[in-house]
Amino acid sequence: MSTLTEKRRVSSILKPSQSVPDGSGTPTRNKVRFAELSIELALRDVLDNNRLTGYDELLEKLKDEDPQDMKFVEIFAEAKQAVPLMKPYFGKLVEFLLSSRWLNRSEEAQEAYKQFVVELSIVQKNYCTMTVAKLVKQFIPDRALQSSSSTVSCIPSEDQQQQMGSLHDLIIRLKNVIPMIFDVVLTQLRKNFPYYKRPSGEVAGYLYNVLRMTEYASIYCDELLDIVFYHLLQLDVNMPRSVIEETEYPDEEMMFEMTDTGEGEDGESGEESDTMKHPVAETLDWFMEIIFNYIEQTVKVDGQGDRLFKIVLNQFDAHILPAHNTDHAQFIMFYICSFKLSYAEHFISSLWKNVNNLNKSPNVRQTYLKSMLLEMSHWVHNYIQRCDSMHYNQSLKAHLVFYSVCQAIFYVVAFRANHLTSSAKNLTFLQSLQLSSIVTCQLNPLRVCLPTVATAFAGITRAYQLAYCHTILERNARRKLATVYKNNTQLPEDCLDTFFPFDPYMLKKSGKRIEPFYLQYQAHELDEESGGGGCGAETSGARGRKRYESVSEDVDDFIPESKRHKHHGVDVSGEFTFSYGVSPGFHS
């Protein structure tokens, strides 16, 4: 009798359901009857009788079949009842259940899955890590959904956002019943973040969902943005400006031809594409665009700008400021400061505190210093007075921060010359900086400044009688001649690092948000009259030009043309040119 019962049971599991004739003569598709499978009986059979036959058959069915929504509801309703029996050695069954397709099902089916997951996390806490990992991995958009959606945007479509809403709802439920589970969520978010070389849609979709979590887990906003900034930095440092330039503009002559004819690669006249040619640059572009959109929504719509600014500033200090040669990540601070003047003031004050903090490394202290002229000049004068009272080493390394602050002052004066000389009040302010005392001090800051910055500053200060720098520049040039050809590298003896954090923005889509606030270099009237690229030696009439030309002639007398040294837009013949990459805004 028991043997007959066992045979009937096996037959009911494996036998397909009978097709009901519909009059068309076409048989309907055979479907396995999942209702016959009893998860609870299979687990009890293993626990009580140590028989694995029913359990193994259950695993095969869950692995191979994709049930309809009604069957899906029945399976997970029964699984919920069997949760107390799902001991750690039934991990494979739990994994199959958690891996089931559920986001694109009916609301009833989704609710059944959610109830099972919540029950499992409460009763069997050893499955929490597996549960969270399965949920977090679904932050990456399905490739089928990506292919069916618009290829123009990597931002999730409305259908995808609706599906992801159900996933976030489940995470909210888990957080409410198990508050400490969010530590597991953060760990899994870091672990499963897509590699930066993965398709842009995967990285952008994952990022979008991580930022969405800040809406309902605001207490963990700092930790969530820490994950975002860390991976943004990975993208940025692996996509240097030089690679973007080579990929976007491989041949400058061809670029000019395309500009003249107005035709693209396909021969069609139209607007320039927003798509970056390099795949990693495209991913970085979408990454920045999604972050900018998040900042705008948080500041304008949600009214949480002050809190977000503090968090972003902390992340900037932790990740971006210590990093070397990042090209785009720092524009997050640039963008958020554009919403409120107090943000910019606080940001600059924070940078100045880093300059005065002796516990910070010199590289951190000397990088972002392009404002606060008055405080900077006071600091420089105090530094000079301290050095005058003692014997000191004039090497670049010994006074790196001092020279960097001086170059920052020279840079701001040259870059914002039109504004700083537009009125008598502004000129009085420039006179109060006592620039002449700075350039004539024994530390000689012009000696190590970038030549393009030094000459532009010299032209402005000479025209308005703020300081006379050309004699010092000529003396410095003569001193460097003895060491210019000392070795094969042909580099000057000392020169500051030419890293300017806010060089022109290279990304196309996200760059549209930066363009309205980014101040391009505008040549001063003196530069335009002289026809030079910002060379201040030609701005004071023929007398100044003769002095400058005399240096050029002396140099040309004994330096072969083939050996003339060029460094950062300057050659020893005296022709200084501005170009992007040397500094933001200075260009020919």
For the entire predicted model, the pTM comes to 0.73
CB of 446 within 8 A of CB of 570?
A: no
Mean pLDDT for all residues in the chain? 76
pLDDT tens-place string over residues 457-493: 898 888 888 888 888 888 888 776 554 444 544 444 5
- Alpha-carbon distance of 499 to 451, in angstroms, equals 14
pLDDT top residue among 448 and 571: 448
Residues 6+ apart with CB under 8 A from 62: 75, 93, 96, 97, 100
User: What pLDDT, on a 0 to 100 scale, did the predictor assign at position 481?
Assistant: 59
DSSP letters, 210-260, are HHHGGGT-GGGHHHHHHHHHHHHHHHHHTS-HHHHHHHH-S-HHHHHHHHH
3-state secondary structure of 174: helix
- Alpha-carbon distance of 206 to 189, in angstroms, equals 9
Residues 6+ apart with CB under 8 A from 149: 156, 157, 159, 160
Side chain identity, residue 391: H
Beta bridge partners of residue 570, listed in sequence order:
567, 576
User: What pLDDT, on a 0 to 100 scale, did the predictor assign at position 33?
Assistant: 44
User: What pLDDT, on a 0 to 100 scale, did the predictor assign at position 550?
Assistant: 39
Burial 5-18 (b: 16+ CB within 10 A, else e): eeeeeeeebeeeee
Side chain identity, residue 280: V
Side chain identity, residue 150: S
Give the percent of the chain with pLDDT over 70: 69
Half-sphere exposure of 320 (CA within 13 A, CB side): 26
DSSP 269: B
Q: Closest Cα to residue 79, out of 127, 43, 129?
A: 43
- Alpha-carbon distance of 173 to 120, in angstroms, equals 12
130: left (phi over 0), alpha (psi -120 to 50) or beta: alpha
| Confidence class for position 375, pLDDT limits 50, 70, 90 | confident
Residues 6+ apart with CB under 8 A from 252: none
- Alpha-carbon distance of 210 to 225, in angstroms, equals 8
User: What pLDDT, on a 0 to 100 scale, did the predictor assign at position 36?
Assistant: 57
DSSP 474: H
For the cut 50, the answer to whether the pLDDT of residue 535 exceeds it is: no
pLDDT tens-place string over residues 409-424: 888 888 888 878 888 8
pLDDT tens-place string over residues 23-43: 444 444 444 444 455 888 889
- Alpha-carbon distance of 416 to 331, in angstroms, equals 20
3-state secondary structure of 185: helix
pLDDT tens-place string over residues 318-338: 999 888 778 999 999 999 999
pLDDT tens-place string over residues 542-565: 333 333 343 334 434 433 444 344
- The tokens describing 18, both together, are 């009978």
User: What pLDDT, on a 0 to 100 scale, did the predictor assign at position 429?
Assistant: 83
User: What pLDDT, on a 0 to 100 scale, did the predictor assign at position 127?
Assistant: 93
3-state secondary structure of 7: helix
Average pLDDT over residues 173-187: 94
User: What pLDDT, on a 0 to 100 scale, did the predictor assign at position 526?
Assistant: 56
- Alpha-carbon distance of 85 to 44, in angstroms, equals 8
CB of 113 within 8 A of CB of 135?
A: no
| Confidence class for position 287, pLDDT limits 50, 70, 90 | very high
Q: Residues for the chain: how many in total?
A: 588
DSSP 382: H
Q: Closest Cα to residue 521, out of 435, 437, 581, 441?
A: 581
pLDDT tens-place string over residues 487-520: 544 444 567 766 677 888 999 999 999 998 887 7
User: What pLDDT, on a 0 to 100 scale, did the predictor assign at position 527?
Assistant: 55
